[in-house]
Amino acid sequence: MSMRFLLLAAVPIMLLADACGGGDGAEDGAVNTANLQVIERLDFEGVELEVADMFPPVLDSSYPDVVATVNGEPIMREALVFVQVSGELSRRDLIERDGVMRDQLVAQIEGSDPLESLIEEALTHQAILRLGLLPSYEEAAEFTRDQEELAKHPRGVVQPGSEERSRELFRLQGYSYADWASNVRLVEGYRMGLGINELHRQECTSYLPPPNENVLAGTDCGDFLAAERENADIEYFVVWAK
């Protein structure tokens, strides 16, 4: 699963939405790396980060404006920086916590390819639209109202401090914390999240770990995304430095 998990019980970050699966499709030998701009991953060693650093992300001037296209849809350098910053913030947050899944989640983040995650995200969104899996705007607006009610529940249904974090995310993105369903971008984010859930249900394989095994349950969209890649026109403009 990529870093930009669109957790439907949480406030989504609208710059990016979640994608099925992880992967590293650029390393299977199918991409011609000749004439591609060589770029470095962001180096976070010794760098202090906070959530505000994602809105907008500080751009690495070495990245071109467009780093790849998926069926003509551009993937912008802002997104490539964003996913690296958000991934590092999540990794650091996990390291500070206890839990049987912590090491597995950290390994997933550290082993992911930010560019390939964005390509799979674009493939996922395009598939949702093509397959007609996006719910109506009205359904998504109702879901958004439900999420607002949960986030502001007076009896503490949500985790302590989560409302404060939600308020801060809203502020950083220029949103009002009142009447979530009146925010078109917020509703559209939840709408895509619902579409992703439906795609997982219809097209991906569910995995339930054996009892007492510390492995995350979830869905495996690898075969689906491989088929989407096979039929997609993906053009790279960058390649990671070795």
Q: DSSP string of 178-196?
A: S-GGG-HHHHHHHHHHHHH
pLDDT at 196: 95
Q: What are the tens digits of pLDDT across the range 204-231?
A: 988 776 676 666 667 889 999 999 999 9
Give the residue carrying structure tokens 């202090």. Answer: 48
- Between the alpha carbon of residue 157 and those of residues 2, 25, 145, 150, 181, the distances in Å are 27, 40, 16, 7, 20
pLDDT at 97: 82
When computed from its CA atoms, the radius of gyration of the chain, rounded to whole angstroms, is: 18
Of the pLDDT bands very low, low, confident and very high (cuts 50, 70, 90), residue 151 is confident
pTM value is: 0.82
Tokens (6 digits) for 19: 């994608």
Task: Kindly give the pairing relationship between strand 205-207 and strand 218-220.
Answer: antiparallel
Of the pLDDT bands very low, low, confident and very high (cuts 50, 70, 90), residue 156 is low
71 pLDDT exceeds 60? yes
18 pLDDT exceeds 50? no
203 pLDDT exceeds 90? yes
pLDDT at 146: 92
Give the residue carrying structure tokens 């090491």. Answer: 103
* Helix/strand/coil for 149: helix
d(CA 217, CA 220): 10
* Helix/strand/coil for 42: coil
φ/ψ (deg, to 5) at 41: -70, 155
